[in-house]
């Protein structure tokens, strides 16, 4: 069966509601906007930005921002079911991944001589990489922090997002010219009628 293009999820009555995708996609947009604000305009045309079901560790896409929903859990016990028996609160882990190309090689060689990294180049690349993730972090925190909480306000039903817990940013170590970061948001959402 082919995958459908989209579902109307305004009232969450559709059994194939895509509200979790909407949350991931909105964070992707916020993060991409924050990242591209740090880049020269001509570079912005070559970046990639998407939502994924999960990340394949061996399939990196350089110069990209992606968000995956990696975990969905029931919060609490049977009390998480509303009067109609529908699940009301779940916790979804949304993981954002920023990957950038152009990180200098950490080891190189000239003939039989193995050379260490070009420290000034590593310093410059690290400054940019950390700065780009900080821009995404700032935009994310500004988007989820009350009273503004703008990241999802106009994109999902009021009351749908009932809590957000940011978790530590983690570096993706340099490898073959790529470097990056991941960040997880634990999002509590209401999926039922309760």
pLDDT at 184: 93
pLDDT at 137: 92
pLDDT at 34: 92
pLDDT digits (tens, 9 = 90+) for 80-90: 455 555 556 77
pLDDT at 8: 47
pLDDT at 9: 47
Question: Residues 9, 68, 62, 137: is their CA dihedral positive or negative?
Answer: positive
pLDDT at 75: 72
Across the chain, mean pLDDT equals 77
DSSP string of 13-28?
Answer: -STT--HHHHHHHHHH
pLDDT digits (tens, 9 = 90+) for 17-57: 677 888 889 899 999 999 999 888 777 677 889 998 877 65
Domain range 19-189, CATH class: alpha beta
DSSP string of 139-182?
Answer: HHHHHHSTTT--TTTTTS-TTSEEEEEE---EEEEEETTEEEEE
pLDDT at 16: 58
Low-confidence residues of the chain, pLDDT below 50?
A: 1-3, 7-11, 78-80, 193-194
Would you list the domain boundaries of the chain?
Answer: 19-189
């Amino acid at each position: 069966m082919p995958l459908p293009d989209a579902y109307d999820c305004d009232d969450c009555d559709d059994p194939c509601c895509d509200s979790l995708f909407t949350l991931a996609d909105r964070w992707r947009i916020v993060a991409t906007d924050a990242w591209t604000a740090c880049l020269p305009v001509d570079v912005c045309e070559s970046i990639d930005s998407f939502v994924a079901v999960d990340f394949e560790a061996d399939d990196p896409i350089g110069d990209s921002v992606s968000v995956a929903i990696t975990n969905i859990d029931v919060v609490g016990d049977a009390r998480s079911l509303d009067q109609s028996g529908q699940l009301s609160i779940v916790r979804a882990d949304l993981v954002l991944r920023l990957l950038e190309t152009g990180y200098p090689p950490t080891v190189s060689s000239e003939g039989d001589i193995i050379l260490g990294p070009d420290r000034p180049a590593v310093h410059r690349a690290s400054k940019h990489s950390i700065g780009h993730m900080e821009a995404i972090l700032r935009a994310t925190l500004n988007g989820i922090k009350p009273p503004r909480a703008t990241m999802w306000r106009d994109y999902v039903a009021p009351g749908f997002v009932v809590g957000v817990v940011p978790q530590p940013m983690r570096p993706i170590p340099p490898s073959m010219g790529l470097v990056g970061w991941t960040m997880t948001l634990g999002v509590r959402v209401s999926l039922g009628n309760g």
